[in-house]
Structure formats: C-alpha cells, structure tokens
Amino acid sequence: MLVLDKPAGLPVHPGPRGGASLEDWAEALRQGRRHAPLPAHRLDTDTSGCLAFGRTRPAMAALGRLFATGQAEKTYWAVIRGDLPEEGVCEAPLLKRSTKERGWWMAVDPKGQAARTEWRVLGRGGGLVAVALRPRTGRTHQLRAHLAHLGAPILGDERYGGGAGRLHLLARELRLKLEPPVGATAKLPPHMEEAWRRCGAP
C-alpha cells in the first residue's frame, strides 16, 4: 500500500471538464507493479493530506474492510469561522440535496444517513478557531456539513458558508490497524499556515 500527501486543489480522478488529477501520475505510482494503485477512500479535491492507496487486489480488499469497520482512524485539522466549545460531538444525519441554482450539497436532515464527528479545539485567535476533527463515519462532505450546522464553517468553504478562498482542511493523520500498524502524518499546507498561527495552535 501507499499513503500519499495529496495536495489541495488536485482531484483524485479527472472531472467531466478534464484537467489534472492524481490519475496523471498512475504510471509513476505503479513502480513496476502490474496494476496502478487505487485509492482506498476519498478526499475532496480541495482537501490536502493523507490518502491511502492499495497496490494489489488483496490489499484493496483489506483496506476496504478497515475503512468499513472503523479500523482506519482519521484525524483532520481545520480552521473555522465562528466558535465551538473546547470539545464535543456532532451526530446530525446527512442527506444529499441539489438545485439547479446551487448545485449539490449535503444537508442535515432526519431522513439522511447517520453521521458522527468528534472535535477538540487546538487554539483560538483573531476570530478563528483551530480544531482537530475525528470523523467516526465517512459521509460525503461530513466535516464541512457538520461544522456549518454547528455555526462554525471551515474557512474558505464557500459552499457551506465559510467564505471565499482556499479550503482550510487537512487530512492530518491516518492510522491503520494492520499487523504491524501503519501510520502517516501530513504537514500543514502553506495556505493554512498563517491562519493556524493566528489561532496559536501547535
């Protein structure tokens, strides 16, 4: 398997309009193997950080089981606009919605899929808050939608009320319960550094 530090702004797969994606580097990532590695989970285009790939079919199956059974522990870092208590849990169900004017988004709705996000504040300053997030489920846009629901959207998340600019969300750590265990940590991307410092976060 591989764990890559995916840059923000680079999609895993090419979209309908084309453009650069991680698939452009499939041959280099193959590293002499028969098949190119495949992503074992998802990261939004604008999210940077740890992304796991399986290099063989058995590896993909094993990784799939880890993510499906909650044995893949993910920690994200984000800078939010607004405020939150020092720690807490959001368990708001999420449902996909779409309109011609707005496009699609994930909304809190009792009819949606169960979703759970845990958070812990790492620092505060200048009207911003740095938080560590632990998603216990893997719904699309879960962290973004939950924080917006709490009145604390992620900085730069225009779709969910965080204002224009680059999304301040990092897939910071990935821990896989394999034998032996596998762990990876991604660095803070340059576009998050100034806001992170303003919050006084470590």
Q: Which fold has domain 2-198?
A: Pseudouridine synthase (3.30.2350)
Residue among 5, 24, 44, 46 flagged as catalytic? 44
* SS3 state of residue 135: strand
Residue 137: per-residue pLDDT: 93
**pTM of the shown model:** 0.93
Extract the residue ranges of the chain whose pLDDT is less than 50. Answer: none
Residue 74: per-residue pLDDT: 96
CA distance 194 to 73: 27
Residue 26: per-residue pLDDT: 81
Burial degree of 69 (CB within 10 A; 0-12, 13-18, 19+): exposed
* SS3 state of residue 10: coil
**Alpha-carbon torsion angle 24, 25, 30, 32, nearest 10:** 100
In sequence order, what DSSP letters do the residues of 167-201 get, joined into one string? --EEEEEEEE--SS-EEEEPPPPHHHHHHHHHTT-
Clarify whether 5 is annotated catalytic: no
**What are residue 52's phi and psi, to 5 degrees?**
-90, 140
